Amino acid sequence: MKHIAFTTTLLTLSLGSVSYLQADVTEAQMRSLENRVSAMEQKKGSTSMINPPGRPQVRDGADLFFTADWLIWQAHENGTGYAVKTKAEQPSATALYNSSIKNLHFDWDSGFRIGLGYNLPHDGWDVVAGWTWFQTNASGHVNKGNGAVLSANPYDLAELSIDGYTSSSSHLNLKLNMIDLDLGREFFVSKWMTLRPFMGLRTGWINQKLKSNYNGPIPTSSVSELNSYARNNYWGLGLHSGLDSEWGLGAGFSLYGNAACSILNGFFQVSDYLYSEFRSGTHNDHITNSDSFRIGRVIGELAMGVRWDTMFANDHCHFSIQGGWEQLMFFGQNQMKHFYGSFLSNAGAYFANQGDLTFQGWTLSARLDF
């Protein structure tokens, strides 16, 4: 029994010594790794990099690159309802019974984005200037059928004797322009993955014109139609930052995922014009209003897709093509006024900030480095 106890004690001490030595070796390895990384970071005049540049490397090039994007987008915007349709004529107490709101339908349209970049000699940085242009239209039309068409932008003081209309139509024109200037660096985080954080400046213009028409007043009166014109223009300048990523698959193919955010400080110019047109050919102005104010706006962006790239001309040039889905959101962009006063004492009552503006769709891109 004494021999067994002695053997057990010796085995326990040996295992403890081995565990202690293993832990000590692991800690030493960790300290050694940390020391090597610190030495690489602090070493002066070394050409080695912890995160080497991941941008395309062309031979004896001008360090310039050009990008061109074809945008196939559709816009959406909250607060663009122009009329309310009822299924049957109703008394005022139940005017909205079995009713539905008619919103504008946005078209799919084409735009473009072009960019020119320069690869800086310092640490793999690059600077890129880009311009985005997109224009689209939205429209809607509704007839009363067995019911009635009500204005979604009512102003009771305009025509107190009108209960509804036989038809309504509306059209919105929207123009987007953005100019970016970014400084970034693309670098490897693994053999098959690169990241490119960037920061810079952005300026943008968003101009909107909305026209709505209400025909055939009910009951018939001397008024032939009601017309409304509104403008919602914005310009801003601010900071732009984000992160681009590339996930290599092999054979020149990769996946990409990009995210960005901008905060622009600028101002809105909003106007509203409402008038009645009489059968006699004259008209009566009800609202001629304008507003101008400064405010910041946030823009969010996401993009994902597939990319293919290759070197050619004995590595003197690089070419890539890609296609994917892109989404942009302009928060609180719809600032068009809706006046709803029923009496002279509250004739100026209105609400605005009706919702967000979004763009989404396909983006096909090409890039040439030389």
Ranges assigned E (strand) in the chain: 64-77, 81-86, 99-103, 105-106, 108-119, 125-143, 148-151, 164-185, 187-190, 193-218, 223-250, 253-278, 283-312, 317-334, 338-339, 350-351, 355-369
Nearest to 261 by CA among 329, 196, 175, 358: 329
Least confident of 7-11, 118-122, 151-155, 308-312: 7-11
CB-based contacts of 138: which residues, under 8 Å, 6+ apart? 75, 77, 80, 104, 105, 106, 107, 171, 172, 174
Nearest to 85 by CA among 71, 104, 97, 101: 101
> Residue 161: what pLDDT?
66
Tell whether the model's pLDDT for residue 189 goes beyond 50. yes
Grade residue 30 by pLDDT with cuts at 50, 70 and 90: very low
DSSP 107: P
> Residue 93: what pLDDT?
59
> Cis before residue 52, ω within 30 degrees of 0?
no
Which tens digit of pLDDT belongs to each residue from 37-86?
343 345 444 455 678 999 998 999 999 999 999 999 999 999 888 888 88
Nearest to 136 by CA among 101, 171, 102: 171
Cα distance from N-terminal residue to C-terminal residue, the chain: 84
> Residue 26: what pLDDT?
38
Place of tokens 């062309």: 58
Select, from the ranges 4-18, 28-42, 78-92, 283-297, the one with the highest average predicted confidence (pLDDT): 283-297
The number of beta carbons lying within 10 Å of the beta carbon of residue 97 is 12
Measured CA distances, 48 to 56, 273, 311 (Å): 18, 66, 24
Average the pLDDT over 84-108 and give the result.
82
Q: Which two three-digit tokens encode residue 333? A: 């962009």
Amino acid occupying residue 215: N
CA 55 to chain centre: 25
> Residue 19: what pLDDT?
43
* Mean of all residue pLDDT scores within the chain: 84
Which tens digit of pLDDT belongs to each residue from 289-337?
999 999 999 999 999 999 999 999 999 999 999 999 999 999 999 998 8
Which tens digit of pLDDT belongs to each residue from 146-188?
888 888 776 655 566 677 888 999 999 999 999 999 999 999 9
Under 8 Å between Cβ of 177 and 203: no
Nearest to 210 by CA among 286, 104, 291: 104
Measured CA distances, 221 to 110, 154, 164, 277, 354 (Å): 44, 18, 11, 11, 32
> Residue 286: what pLDDT?
82
Whole-number Å distance between alpha carbons of 233 and 149: 29
pTM (whole model) above 0.75: yes
Which tens digit of pLDDT belongs to each residue from 196-248?
999 999 999 999 999 999 988 887 778 888 899 999 999 999 999 999 999 99
Nearest to 161 by CA among 284, 338, 271, 272: 284
> Residue 259: what pLDDT?
98
CB-based contacts of 336: which residues, under 8 Å, 6+ apart? 79, 208, 210, 230, 232, 270, 272, 352, 354
Tell whether the model's pLDDT for residue 275 goes beyond 90. no
Q: Which is higher by pLDDT, 337 or 7?
A: 337
Nearest to 184 by CA among 171, 173, 194, 169: 194
Residue 2's H or E segment, with its range, is helix 2-42
CATH of 57-369, one of 2.40.128, 3.40.50, 2.60.40, 3.30.460: 2.40.128
Whole-number Å distance between alpha carbons of 369 and 186: 15
> Residue 3: what pLDDT?
44
Tell whether the model's pLDDT for residue 13 goes beyond 70. no
> Residue 12: what pLDDT?
47
Under 8 Å between Cβ of 303 and 325: yes
